[in-house]
Amino acid sequence: MPRALSAGEVLRVWEAGADQHPLDRALTLLSAAEPRAARAELAALSVAERDARLLRMRAAMLGPTLSAFAACPRCGERLEFTLRTDELTAGSRAADGPWETAAGGVSLRFRLPDSRDLAAAARSGSVDAARRVLGARCVLAAWNDAGPVDAGALSEDALTALAAAMGEVAPEAEVSLSLGCPACGGAWESLLDVADFFWTELSARARRVMQDVHVLARAYHWSEAEILALSPGRRRAYLEMAEG
**DSSP tag of 37:** S
Binders of Zn ion among residues 119 to 158 (CB under 5 A) are none
Task: Tell whether residue 184 is a contact of Zn ion (CB under 5 A).
Answer: yes
Q: Which stretch binds Zn ion (CB under 5 A): 26-34, 82-90, 163-171, 183-191?
A: 183-191
**Contact (CB, 8 A) for 217 and 51:** no
Q: How far apart are CA 207 and CA 227, in angstroms?
A: 15
Helix intervals (H) in the chain: 7-17, 22-33, 39-43, 47-62, 85-90, 115-122, 127-138, 156-169, 194-220, 224-229, 232-243
**Contact (CB, 8 A) for 85 and 56:** yes
Which residue pairs from 220-226 have beta carbons closer than 8 angstroms and sit at least 24 positions apart in sequence?
225/8
Task: Tell whether residue 181 is a contact of Zn ion (CB under 5 A).
Answer: yes
CA 117 to chain centre: 15
Helix, strand or coil, per DSSP, at residue 82? strand
Minimum CB separation of residue 178 from Zn ion in Å reads 14
Task: Tell whether residue 70 is a contact of Zn ion (CB under 5 A).
Answer: no
Minimum CB separation of residue 74 from Zn ion in Å reads 5
Count of residues near Zn ion by CB under 5 A: 8
The HSE-up count of residue 46 (CA atoms within 13 Å, CB side) is 23
Q: How far apart are CA 81 and CA 83, in angstroms?
A: 7
Minimum CB separation of residue 179 from Zn ion in Å reads 10
Between 76 and 91, CB nearer to Zn ion = 76
Q: Please identify which residue in 24, 77, 201, 224 interacts with Zn ion, judged by CB under 5 A.
A: 77
Q: Please identify which residue in 3, 74, 93, 214 interacts with Zn ion, judged by CB under 5 A.
A: 74
Task: Tell whether residue 183 is a contact of Zn ion (CB under 5 A).
Answer: yes
Q: Which stretch binds Zn ion (CB under 5 A): 11-19, 26-34, 113-121, 179-187?
A: 179-187
Minimum CB separation of residue 73 from Zn ion in Å reads 8
Q: Please identify which residue in 75, 122, 219, 241 interacts with Zn ion, judged by CB under 5 A.
A: 75
Minimum CB separation of residue 192 from Zn ion in Å reads 19
Give residues in contact with Zn ion (CB under 5 A). Answer: 72, 74-75, 77, 181, 183-184, 186
